């Protein structure tokens, strides 16, 4: 049993974790940077410690400061949230060696899934369909050209230590492949300290479908359905929804079974997300990568399953057995999330931090807002620009869109520039309304609007 959990994060996810702890009767410790002294997570936790300067390196990524804070406060466990240290296997190891439970998977699983080449290999061996491509690192231009012969163009070069779109290169010809190969390798070395790259066939217009899984320490694993995260800009998701408008019951079951099979094979524990690409033309589904953290978009899964993912993550870390069997999990209704960012969507999404003079959060039936904002709060410029998650839950997708429209109209964050006006335009788009979209929908949408 945990008596006290330290939250190694900030913003809305720190609040989300504090709420779960309070309902479980667990005390909480907030850590914060000098830039976050007026933050709500500092106010709402039972205790709070300043751990360093505003730069992430000095505070939320400062492993020794965080471990010291856990020791000073006699915390039993650390919840890393998402981002920062959430997928750092070294941090998870340091926690364990200091006798503090890391609320997440075992370090070996974080490390394994952090290597996208290894992840592909393991999942392929388990019989999951993986995107056609190299099964080992591609070490030379000659090897790369060999794969191009076999697979045909277009191809994509990805960093083994990448993920989330960083360090990727799309190639349409031998000439481009050769020139991109060396730059991809050296970029990967600079960005991740690992120059290994691999090659995949590039799918032109897939949907991004991810499956939420939860596993305990005793080999029990369930999946909680999919999220469609195809609506994104520069690999930043903006709208997520479940169920996916592009997936039917049969396919949902099949992808869910793949996700459970793959995570069972590695004896995974804690929450996790298996990412797939779905190609509507061929109706093929391919495993892409696995995330070993709780994700930003987890609330939409909570809304349609009635399962509290953060509580389950804490309980499984405490060594409790999964309280539900797959047969008892049902998906009810539709849920959708819009990420409200401090970015000027009318001006190339430039960051727009500053002081909030007036705030009106939407509410009423079907509306959930996960946010750390309050009137008078100053959004610091040092961190990601997420201000709030607007989560809508309704019986049908059509009703979701109606509720979303009125919730966006109610939402006021003055005088900051946000992504709210952008969502107001997207929900008027015929293809979006019909659920006909893929991973390049937003690029096209933005391009068309800018040309008008």
CB of 167: closest distance to ligand MV4 in angstroms? 10
Q: Yes or no: say if 209 and 276 are a contact pair by the CB < 8 Å rule.
A: yes
| Interface with ligand MV4 in residues 161-180 (CB under 6 A) | 163-165
209 binds ligand MV4 (CB under 6 A): no
Q: Please, which residues bridge with residue 4 across strands?
A: 27
| Pattern 277-316, ligand MV4, x by CB under 6 A | x-----------x---------------------------
Rounded Cα gap, residues 274 and 388, in angstroms: 25
Rounded Cα gap, residues 29 and 82, in angstroms: 17
Rounded Cα gap, residues 60 and 41, in angstroms: 14
Q: Is 293 a catalytic residue?
A: yes
CB of 438: closest distance to ligand MV4 in angstroms? 9
CB of 126: closest distance to ligand MV4 in angstroms? 19
* Strand arrangement of the beta sheet that strand 236-242 belongs to: 284-291, 270-279, 207-215, 221-233, 236-242, 334-341, 386-394, 367-371
**Of the ranges 181-189, 195-203, 250-258, 266-274, which one interacts with ligand MV4 (CB under 6 A)?**
195-203
11 binds ligand MV4 (CB under 6 A): no
131 binds ligand MV4 (CB under 6 A): yes
Per CB under 6 A, the list member of 101, 109, 208, 227 interacting with ligand MV4 is 208
Query: In angstroms, what CA-CA distances link 336 with 119, 239, 416?
Result: 29, 7, 24
CB of 302: closest distance to ligand MV4 in angstroms? 22
Check residue 397 and report its DSSP letter.
Answer: H
Per CB under 6 A, the list member of 52, 426, 439, 441 interacting with ligand MV4 is 439
- Nearest Cα neighbor of 32 from 63, 54, 64 is 54
| Pattern 375-404, ligand MV4, x by CB under 6 A | ------------------------------
Check residue 136 and report its DSSP letter.
Answer: S
**Of the ranges 33-41, 182-190, 196-204, 329-337, which one interacts with ligand MV4 (CB under 6 A)?**
196-204
Annotated catalytic residue: which of 27, 227, 293, 397?
Answer: 293
| Pattern 413-432, ligand MV4, x by CB under 6 A | --------------------
DSSP-assigned letters across all residues of 251-302: HHHHHHHHHHHHHHHTT--EEEEEEEEEETTTTEEEEEEEE-S--TTHHHHH
Per CB under 6 A, the list member of 28, 75, 232, 263 interacting with ligand MV4 is 232
**CB nearer to ligand MV4: pick between 56 and 206:** 206
Task: Give the count of residues interacting with ligand MV4 (CB under 6 A).
Answer: 17
Q: Yes or no: say if 370 and 309 are a contact pair by the CB < 8 Å rule.
A: no
- Token pair, residue 108, equals 């070996």
CB of 74: closest distance to ligand MV4 in angstroms? 39
**CB nearer to ligand MV4: pick between 274 and 314:** 274
Q: Yes or no: say if 18 and 311 are a contact pair by the CB < 8 Å rule.
A: no
Other beta carbons less than 10 A from residue 421's beta carbon:
13
**CB nearer to ligand MV4: pick between 78 and 238:** 238
- Token pair, residue 162, equals 């990448």
Side-chain half-sphere CA neighbours of 371 within 13 A: 28
- Nearest Cα neighbor of 77 from 111, 104, 48 is 104
Per CB under 6 A, the list member of 87, 187, 200, 370 interacting with ligand MV4 is 200
Label residue 97 exposed, middle or buried (CB < 10 Å: 0-12, 13-18, 19+).
exposed
- Token pair, residue 25, equals 């009767």
Per CB under 6 A, the list member of 156, 157, 214, 309 interacting with ligand MV4 is 156
203 binds ligand MV4 (CB under 6 A): yes
Residue 122: which residues within 8 A CB-CB, separation 6 or more?
112, 262, 265, 266
CB of 201: closest distance to ligand MV4 in angstroms? 6
**CB nearer to ligand MV4: pick between 159 and 359:** 159
**Of the ranges 100-108, 144-152, 159-167, 330-338, which one interacts with ligand MV4 (CB under 6 A)?**
159-167
**Of the ranges 25-33, 160-168, 309-317, 326-334, which one interacts with ligand MV4 (CB under 6 A)?**
160-168
Pairing between strand 354-355 and 367-371?
Answer: unpaired
Rounded Cα gap, residues 247 and 176, in angstroms: 35
Name the residues that contact ligand MV4, by CB under 6 A. Answer: 131, 156, 163-165, 200-203, 206, 208, 230, 232, 235, 277, 289, 439
Query: Which positions are annotated as active-site residues?
Result: 293
């Amino acid at each position: 049993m945990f008596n006290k959990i330290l939250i190694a994060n900030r913003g809305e996810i720190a609040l989300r974790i504090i709420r779960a702890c309070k309902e479980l009767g667990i005390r909480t410790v907030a850590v914060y940077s000098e830039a976050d002294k007026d933050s709500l997570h500092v106010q709402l936790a039972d205790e709070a410690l300043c751990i360093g300067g505003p730069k992430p390196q000095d505070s939320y990524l400062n492993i020794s400061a965080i471990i010291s804070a856990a020791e000073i406060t006699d915390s039993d466990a650390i919840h890393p949230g998402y981002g920062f240290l959430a997928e750092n296997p070294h941090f998870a190891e340091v926690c364990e060696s200091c006798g503090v439970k890391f609320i997440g998977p075992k370090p070996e699983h974080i490390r394994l899934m952090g290597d996208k080449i290894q992840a592909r290999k393991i999942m392929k061996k388990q019989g999951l369909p993986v995107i056609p491509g190299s099964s080992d690192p591609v070490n030379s231009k000659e090897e790369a050209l060999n794969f191009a012969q076999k697979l045909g163009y277009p191809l994509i070069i990805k960093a083994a230590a990448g993920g989330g779109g960083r360090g990727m290169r799309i190639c349409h010809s031998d000439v481009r492949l050769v020139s991109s190969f060396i730059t991809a390798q050296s970029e990967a070395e600079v960005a991740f300290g690992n120059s290994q790259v691999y090659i995949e066939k590039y799918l032109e217009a897939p949907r991004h479908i991810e499956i939420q899984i939860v596993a305990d320490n005793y080999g029990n694993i369930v999946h909680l359905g999919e999220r469609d995260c195809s609506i994104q800009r520069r690999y930043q998701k903006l709208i997520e929804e479940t169920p996916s408008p592009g997936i039917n019951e049969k396919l949902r079951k099949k992808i869910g079974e793949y996700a459970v099979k793959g995570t069972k094979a590695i004896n995974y524990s804690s929450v996790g997300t298996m990412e797939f690409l779905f190609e509507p033309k061929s109706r093929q589904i391919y495993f892409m990568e696995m995330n070993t953290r709780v994700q930003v978009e987890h609330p939409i899964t909570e809304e349609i399953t009635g399962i509290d993912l953060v509580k389950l993550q804490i309980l499984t870390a405490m060594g409790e057995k999964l309280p539900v069997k797959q047969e008892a999990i049902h998906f009810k209704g539709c849920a959708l999330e819009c990420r409200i960012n401090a970015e000027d969507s009318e001006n190339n999404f430039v960051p727009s931090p500053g002081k909030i003079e007036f705030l009106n959060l939407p509410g009423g039936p079907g509306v959930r807002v996960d946010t750390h904002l309050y009137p008078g709060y100053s959004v610091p410029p040092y961190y990601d620009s997420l201000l709030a998650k607007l989560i809508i839950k309704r019986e049908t997708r059509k009703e979701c869109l109606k509720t979303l429209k009125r919730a966006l109209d109610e939402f006021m964050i003055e005088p900051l520039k946000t992504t709210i006006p952008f969502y107001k335009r997207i929900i008027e788009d015929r293809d979006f309304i019909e659920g006909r979209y893929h991973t390049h929908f937003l690029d096209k949408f933005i391009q068309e609007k800018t040309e008008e």
